[in-house]
Copies of this chain bind each other. A is one copy, B any other.
Amino acid sequence: MHRQTPVSSFNGKAEPVIVVQKYGGSSVATTEKIRNVAKRIAEKANGARIVVVVSAMGDTTDDLLNMAQELCPMPDGRELDKLLATGEQISSALMTIALQAEGISAVSLTGGQAGIITEKVPGKARILKIDPRRIREELNNEKVVVVAGFQGVTDHANWADITTLGRGGSDTTAVALAAALKADRCEIYTDVDGVYTTDPRIEPLAAKLDTICYEEMLEMAGQGARVMHSRAVELGELYDVSILVANSANDTPGTVITKEDPTMEVRNPVRGIAHDTDVARLTVVSVPDRPGIAYQVFQRLAEKNINVDVILQNVSKSGVADVSFTVAMPDLEKTKCALYPVIKEIGAEDLVTDQNVAKVSIIGSGIRSHPGYAARMFGALSADGINILGISTSEIRITCLIEKGAVRNAVRALHKTFELEKP
């Protein structure tokens, strides 16, 4: 489905290719940058029907949020959505004006005008459906359609409320529109060249991947890689939308996130090394070793929507055990508040936290069918003198909890062990 070069093609119905392109806030931070993106779109259009999704310019969203918080520390969600949605409305109108200045026929649409209907949940509304009639009409009029990302409305009537989609919102807009329009390509332009085998700032030998499958990308994102938000990738997987992640400032081919393809059989089963230092470990000390105790601890965290990883329970001696697990650093305080009452209820001794930890993971859909990767991973870390504090696995991922200070060495050791620098 995905094509690397933007050539016009015919799919039997003699219709031009439809391409959805998303440009992030740093790519449209100034009128100068907007002009550059517009020129790029104009140069590469090549007969395709193009839908452009834009984020708000640079710090606009933060500036608007600051004004709201000057007036009220916890502003109303509905009003905040309406306020923040102006950021993308502004950038979409300016991008359209810039395209027109390049001689391209273009029109901007708000989320509502683009037919994006969402839940009535301020700040993190999920898309319920997309009515792409207006977009199709404008595309049929041979216009580039510039859609304000990150937003939708709660209804078809013009007095519907404006909502925002929350984190990763503009990526989600792009993938959802690509699905609704049955687009031939969905391209996410950002300030990196694509998805790498690991963070190039840590391992200069990190190699850009040409393709990665949805599952792998989700594991990479979940384990600390910041290229794309999981939500948009999940949506891509659900609707079979291949997503190109590429740099808006150069012509590097980028990485295509797509479904697993047959060539995966012959390639390296490990696709990448992720690391996450934004993590904390909690230990419930001296838990009475009775059935149902772990349930009580983790049920409470589930109720509070706290994701837990790398769970470790040591061998019980004298009828008590220690239970450890990790949470994302921003959830640490919430987790402590949720657990203090439970500690008393279950008769545990204490709740200890440790912020000097990090996770390193090897990820690859080949892991599930190739045994022995866990052993190779532990061996590589051990050869480097790195102590493993905990382990968690999925079908396509193995994660080790280590000391924060050992992350750089661990990533480089694993990258080398699994030969990821090879093209």
A98 touches B86 (CB 8 A): no
Q: Is B113 a contact of A97 with CB atoms below 8 Å?
A: no
Contact A71 B158 (CB under 8 A): no
Inside 8 A of A83's CB, which chain B residues have their CB? 89-90, 93-94, 97
CA distance A153 to B86 in the complex (A): 16
CB-CB under 8 A for A109 and B158, given A68-B97, A93-B83: no
Q: Is A366 an interface residue (CB 8 A)?
A: no
When all copies of this chain in the complex are counted, the total is 2
Q: In the assembled complex, which residues on chain B have CB atoms less than 8 Å from the CB atom of A71?
A: 31, 34-35, 38, 94, 97-98, 101
Q: Mark A104-147, 1 if CB is under 8 A from B, else 0.
A: 00011110111100000000000000000110000000000000
Give bound CA distance, A64 to B115, whole Å: 26
Instruction: Please report whether the interface of chain A is mostly helix, strand, loop or mixed according to DSSP.
Output: helix
Residues B86 and A100 in contact, CB atoms below 8 Å apart: no
Q: How far is the CA of A34 from the CA of B72 in the complex (A)?
A: 12
Chain B residues near A97 (CB-CB < 8 A): 68, 71-72, 75-76, 79-80, 83
Which of A70, A82, A107, A153: most chain B CB closer than 10 A? A82
- A68 vs B160: C-alpha distance in the bound complex, in angstroms? 28
A67 contacts the other chain (CB 8 A): yes
The number of chain A residues touching the other chain, given as a range, is 35 or more
Q: CA–CA, A34 to B79, complex, Å?
A: 15
Partner of A156, one of B113, B133, B158: B158
Give the distance in Å from the alpha carbon of A19 to the alpha carbon of B409 in the complex: 68
How far is B75's CA from A31's CA once the two chains are assembled, in angstroms?
A: 13
Whole-angstrom distance from the CB of A103 to the nearest CB of chain B? 11
What's the least CB distance linking A42 to chain B, in Å? 13
Q: Does A78 contact B (CB under 8 A)?
A: yes
Complex A-B: 12 CB contacts under 8 Å: A75-B100, A79-B93, A79-B96, A83-B89, A83-B93, A83-B97, A110-B162, A112-B159, A155-B158, A156-B157, A156-B158, A157-B157
What residues of chain A have their CB less than 8 Å away from a CB belonging to chain B?
31, 34-35, 38, 64, 67-68, 70-72, 75-76, 78-80, 82-83, 85-86, 89-90, 92-94, 96-98, 100-101, 107-110, 112-115, 133-134, 153, 155-162
